[in-house]
Amino acid sequence: MKTFYITTTLPYVNADPHIGFAFELISADIIARYKRLSGDEVFFNTGTDEHGTKVWEKAKEEGKDTQTYVDEYAEKFKKLREPLGLLPDVNFIRTTDSHHKLAAQEFWKRCATSGDIYKKNYRIKYCVGCELEKTESELADGRCPVHPNLELQVIEEENYFFRLSGYQKKLLAFYDANPDFVVPAFRLNEIRSLIKEKGLEDFSISRLKSKMPWGVSVPDDNDHVMYVWFDALVNYISAIGWPDHLAQFEKWWPVTQFAGKDQVRQQAVMWQAMLLSAGLPPSKQIVIHGFIQSGGQKMSKSLGNVIDPLALVQEYGTDALRFYLARHVHPFEDSDFTVEKFKEAYNADLANGIGNLTSRIMKMATDHLSTPVSDPNPGSPLPFGFTQHLDTFNIQAATSFLTEWVTSLDQKIQETEPFKLVKQDKEKGKAIIIELVKDLFAATRMFEPILPETAAKIQTLIAGNNMPSAPLFPRK
């Protein structure tokens, strides 16, 4: 049995969960379920990133103790697990956990032992939204292009730095040796070109505690706390027991990471150099997805176009949201989301598609078959046309294959008309109905990673030779 470790990024606890993070969570869960269905032992990790300037300032703004504030927000993200249909044993790590903080400090010590941490005075422009320093070439009209509404901070102080510049050749050699390291490939090509053109600069990894106290204390220097990215990235190894439980760590490492397109630098460059510095193997793969926009605009509270995933689940159900994000949101590029598009797709794909097909087939089975149809191929592999896409993290293409399968079953019913044939030639009509039930069962095996609740319901109907007592997906 192979092991597979997959993780999302940790969302920052300065805002409520939104549809973009729900997409990342569900995408990672689909891959985790697929790997488990394929026979792998799976560790699935998510959690919350709870340190840094944004969190500290937001807590002050709301007049709350910072720990109380992050406890409240962590609970909101933890409660996503059930309504989004995540695997029940998904791990949930918090960067304020005592084990994680100790792991971050040990990681710091190892990088320091490697000679990659030093202290210096510096002056930078800093985007609080990104929690990153910005060079002039990264700015548009003097502002961060990702957070144009936020004023850049000018920070001038003594900080610790990580010697990223020393890893340029090693990283480029690693990318050359592992061309599939970042998915899609063009994201890795962008990073490779950027490094070759501009080189790598050392980055700040601490903040003065007197100015921003909310963070993990720097080992042997109580005047500094760790820069939020340095601390948070360590969660990928602390979640699987590092450094205290090395057998557990070695069982699961390396990791497959899901992240947004604004985090390629952090995940594919900074984190990999940090791992090399600490004497640890690099990540296995990084899957980069685009952003979800709403009505052609970036989602923001000020525009009032933020989509609440829990509200959609409440009205349409968990599997409806999972299916839409799998089928209609591009796995690697930006996509547009509106409630109107969601409702239209729900009725077309689910109410009139999978739900209607299940009712038609199971009505014929109930009316004309005296015993349930058993699983025709227990333990058989999933169709290659489905698995080849999931193996390359193209969830949309895999879901399209599934919808084409559903469409083909509808066409088979229209062409063969077994509900009529069974009256003229009973045995021939029954044989076609049995084939349709078997085909439906085969479809449910592909449903399992994407539509786990629906797959279980249909398999139960087939096992009992029953019709749905109510529509699987009522029209809206």
Which stretches of the chain score pLDDT less than 70? 132, 135-137, 300-304, 376
Q: Does some domain include residue 393?
A: yes
Inter-residue contact 26 to 321 (CB < 8 Å): yes
Could you tell me the two tokens for 252?
A: 């699961």
pLDDT number for residue 155: 73
Q: Does some domain include residue 326?
A: no
> Is the sign of the CA dihedral 167, 168, 169, 172 positive or negative?
positive
Cα–Cα distance, 102 to 322 (Å, whole number): 36
pLDDT number for residue 136: 63
Q: Does some domain include residue 298?
A: no
Inter-residue contact 164 to 203 (CB < 8 Å): yes
pLDDT number for residue 300: 66
**In the chain, how many domains are there?**
1
pLDDT number for residue 213: 93
> Rounded to two decimals, what is the model's pTM?
0.93
Inter-residue contact 253 to 225 (CB < 8 Å): no
How far is residue 325 from each of residues 228, 316, 335, 336, 391, measured CA to CA in Å?
30, 13, 10, 11, 18
pLDDT number for residue 301: 62
In the chain, what's the furthest Cα-to-Cα distance? 89
How far is residue 208 from each of residues 196, 259, 326, 355, 376, measured CA to CA in Å?
33, 29, 43, 58, 65
Q: What CATH code is carried by the domain that includes residue 449?
A: 1.10.730.10
Q: What is the domain extent for residue 350?
A: 338-464
Q: Does some domain include residue 209?
A: no
pLDDT number for residue 157: 82
pLDDT number for residue 195: 95
Inter-residue contact 174 to 272 (CB < 8 Å): yes
Could you tell me the two tokens for 27?
A: 């995408």
Q: Does some domain include residue 431?
A: yes
Inter-residue contact 21 to 38 (CB < 8 Å): no
Inter-residue contact 84 to 30 (CB < 8 Å): no
Could you tell me the two tokens for 307?
A: 């989509």
How far is residue 270 from each of residues 205, 230, 309, 379, measured CA to CA in Å?
11, 9, 31, 42
Q: Does some domain include residue 49?
A: no
* pLDDT tens string 202-232: 999 999 999 899 999 999 999 999 999 999 9
Q: Does some domain include residue 382?
A: yes
């497959």: which residue's tokens?
256
pLDDT number for residue 289: 97
pLDDT number for residue 44: 98
Amino acid found at 388: Q
Question: H/E/C letters for each residue in the chain?
Answer: CCEEEEECCCCECCCCCCHHHHHHHHHHHHHHHHHHHCCCEEEEEEEEECCCHHHHHHHHHCCCCHHHHHHHHHHHHHCCCCCCCCCCCCEEEECCCHHHHHHHHHHHHHHHHCCCEEEEEEEEEEECCCCEEECHHHCECCECCCCCCCCCEEEEEEEEEECHHHHHHHHHHHHHHCCCCEECHHHHHHHHHHHHHHCCCCEECEEECCCCCCCCEECCEEEEEECHHHHHHCHHHHCCCCCCCHHHHHHHCCCEEEEEHHHHHHHHHHHHHHHHHCCCCCCCEEEEECCEEECCEECCCCCCCCCCHHHHHHHHCHHHHHHHHHHHCCCCCCEECCHHHHHHHHHHHHHHHHHHHHHHHHHHHHHHCCCCCCCCCCCCCCCHHHHHHHCCCCHHHHHHHHHHHHHHHHHHHHHHCHHHHHHHCHHHHHHHHHHHHHHHHHHHHHHHHHCHHHHHHHHHHHHHCCCCCCCCCCCC
